[in-house]
């Protein structure tokens, strides 16, 4: 249990948030199957990315970590060895689904397990297309849930129309397709984050992108490179909202990833009227865009968030809900059913916990409705072992009249191990 009460404190100063979780996972995976030595800087030392490291080490890949600098010794696709041990993905959906895509093309057997939350997350969305490609996958309830076992190799290319805009589904199929003769195509209903596509190119591979249609021609060998991981905009989002809703505050976040398929939170803040300034940094051709963001206490208005912006801010919806409690008028979040299959059902967990703090918030079938502004008060709340719920409730303590007691704050280390240290560094 953590007691928090930051009311009457304001936020000032500068911060560099830790590395992007999605890019850190992918840098390890691509490094592991490329030929040569991949170096990574700004790597996120969060529990989820360390699960990815652990799984690839179990497949014989040498990975050394010194602070946020990582070296991966890649020996090509064939360098992955059949693991003697079970691959434990911990709490990480990204590890599970992307690794399944890689394993689908390998003539080895592997067993994947994770924690209680992973055991509830839908895997059929990747096991179905990978089976269609010829991978042999079994698992609980016919391969819908972990534990899963996979024996890959001898794949056939496919054209797959995904029912969900999910970068994990898209990436799993591309990672299988890039090992397979012919063209593998994924068509998604909206554009999801494109880190895999960018990384294929950074590792010397080729991928074609036309709107929501992404195609790879296989087989392709990848070549080791250097990856500089930008700060995670999904982690920055907690401080952006803290800066906007806390009186007399102004903070600058440096080196934040500004990839257009991830920057929905910026567009939402702008539309709600946040006082914000962005300075883009120069990056080399093909690299992820980065910049610094300054945000100050703002007068906010409610808006509707839905449609194609949803995949670009899916992980930021818990903190957008808190933001909306401080905006005048109604905020509607719609088209976000995917929230139900994250670390928790994030519609239920956000609504139930913000209600305890006094928010005017209701769940809908595909999101939530919030009416603001509301004065929040303290209560005993619960992260449900979901890092993003834990961080959102911690930020609520900047505007809560009385202390907030957060159960299971440890889950935050999944994506932001030094969250409280960084938060306290901005207090004045
Ligand atoms: O590809 C990725 O790195 C991720 C994709 C998203 O999930 P979905 O693909 O399930 O939408 C996101 O919620 C997750 O935190 C990371
Ligand atoms: C949904 C998330 O991650 P994953 O799917 O990798 O567990 C998240 O980080 O919010």
What is the CB neighbour count within 10 angstroms for residue 159? Answer: 13
Contact between 167 and 310 under an 8 Å Cβ cutoff? The reply is no
Task: Give me the domain span that covers residue 97.
Answer: 21-222
**Do residues 343 and 419 both lie within one domain?**
yes
Q: Give the mutation target among 20, 51, 52, 93 for probing the ligand 1 site: most ligand atoms within 8 A of CB.
A: 93
Residue with the nearest Cα to atom 4 of ligand 2? 93
- Binding positions for phosphoenolpyruvate are 21, 93, 121, 168, 346, 388
Residues 31 and 97 both lie in one domain: yes
pLDDT of residue 409: 97
0.90 surpassed by pTM: yes
The number of the ligand nearest the C-alpha atom of 52 reads 2
CATH code, domain with 109: 3.65.10.10
Same domain, 266 and 173: no
Report the binding-site residues for 3-phosphoshikimate. 21-22, 26, 166, 168, 315, 342
- The tens-digit pLDDT sequence of the chain (428 residues) is 999 999 889 999 999 999 999 999 999 999 999 999 999 999 999 999 999 999 999 999 999 999 999 999 999 999 999 999 999 999 999 999 999 999 999 999 999 999 999 999 999 999 999 999 999 999 999 999 999 999 999 999 999 999 999 999 999 999 999 999 999 999 999 999 999 999 999 999 999 999 999 999 999 999 999 999 999 999 999 999 999 999 999 999 999 999 999 999 999 999 999 999 999 998 888 889 999 999 999 999 999 999 999 999 999 999 999 999 999 999 999 999 999 999 999 999 999 999 999 999 999 999 999 999 999 999 999 999 999 999 999 999 999 999 999 999 999 999 999 999 999 999 98
How many domains does the chain contain in total? 2
Of 222, 255, 270, the position where a domain reaches its end is: 222
Annotated binding site: 21-22, 26, 93, 121, 166, 168, 315, 342, 346, 388
Whether the CB of 415 sits within 6 Å of ligand 1 = no
| Residues labelled catalytic | 315
> 342 C-alpha vs ligand 2 centroid, how far in Å?
6
> Same domain, yes or no, for 91 and 199?
yes
**401 φ, ψ to 5°?**
-65, -35
The residue whose CA has the least distance to atom 11 of ligand 1 is 166
Report the pLDDT value the prediction gives residue 285, as an integer from 0 to 100: 82
Ligand 1 neighbourhood includes 314 CB (under 6 angstroms):
yes
Smallest Cα–Cα separation from 332: which of 297, 298, 372?
372
Position 8 scores a pLDDT of 87
Same domain, 10 and 28: no
Beta bridge partners of 2: 406
388 close to ligand 2 (CB < 6 Angstrom): yes
3-state secondary structure of 98: helix
* CA–CA distance, 236 with 347 (Å, rounded to integer): 21
Distance of alpha carbon 8 from alpha carbon 411, whole angstroms: 27
194 and 236 within one domain? no
Q: What is the pLDDT of residue 196?
A: 98
């Amino acid at each position: 249990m953590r007691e928090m009460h930051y009311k009457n404190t304001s936020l000032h100063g500068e911060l560099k948030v830790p590395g992007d979780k999605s890019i850190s996972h992918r840098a390890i995976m691509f490094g592991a199957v490329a030929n040569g030595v991949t170096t990574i800087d700004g790597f996120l030392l969060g529990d989820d990315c360390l699960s990815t490291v652990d799984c690839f080490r179990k497949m014989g890949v040498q990975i050394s970590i010194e602070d946020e600098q990582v070296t991966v010794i890649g020996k090509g696709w064939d360098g992955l060895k059949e693991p003697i041990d079970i691959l434990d993905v911990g709490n990480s959906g990204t590890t599970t689904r992307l690794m399944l895509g890689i394993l689908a093309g390998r003539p080895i057997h592997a067993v994947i397990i994770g924690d209680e939350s992973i055991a509830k997350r839908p895997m059929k969305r990747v096991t179905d297309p990978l089976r269609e490609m010829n991978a042999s996958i079994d698992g609980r309830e016919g391969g819908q849930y972990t534990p899963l076992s996979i024996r890959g190799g001898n794949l056939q290319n496919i054209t797959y129309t995904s029912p969900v805009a999910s970068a994990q589904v898209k990436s799993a199929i591309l990672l299988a397709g890039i090992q397979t003769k012919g063209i593998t195509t994924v068509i998604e209903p909206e554009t999801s984050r494109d880190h895999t596509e960018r990384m294929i190119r950074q590792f010397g591979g080729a991928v074609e992108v036309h709107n929501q249609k992404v195609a790879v021609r296989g087989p392709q060998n990848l070549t080791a490179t250097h990856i500089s991981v930008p700060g995670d905009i999904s982690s920055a989002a907690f401080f952006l909202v803290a800066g906007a809703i806390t009186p007399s505050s102004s903070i600058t976040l440096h080196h934040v990833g500004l990839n257009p398929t991830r920057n929905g939170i910026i567009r939402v803040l702008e539309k709600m009227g946040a006082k914000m300034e962005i300075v883009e940094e120069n990056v080399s051709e093909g690299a992820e865009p980065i910049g610094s963001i300054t945000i100050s206490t703002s007068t906010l208005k409610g808006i509707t968030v839905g449609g194609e912006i949803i995949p670009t801010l899916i992980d930021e919806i818990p903190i957008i809900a808190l933001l909306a409690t401080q905006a005048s008028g109604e905020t509607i979040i719609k088209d976000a059913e995917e929230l139900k299959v994250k670390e928790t059902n994030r519609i239920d967990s956000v609504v139930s916990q913000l209600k305890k703090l006094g928010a005017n918030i209701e769940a809908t079938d595909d999101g939530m409705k919030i009416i603001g502004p509301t004065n929040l008060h303290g209560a005993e709340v619960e992260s449900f072992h979901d890092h993003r719920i834990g961080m959102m409730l911690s930020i609520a303590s900047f505007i809560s009249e009385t202390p907030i007691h957060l159960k299971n704050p440890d889950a935050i280390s999944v994506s932001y191990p030094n969250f409280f240290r960084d938060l306290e560094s901005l207090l004045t």
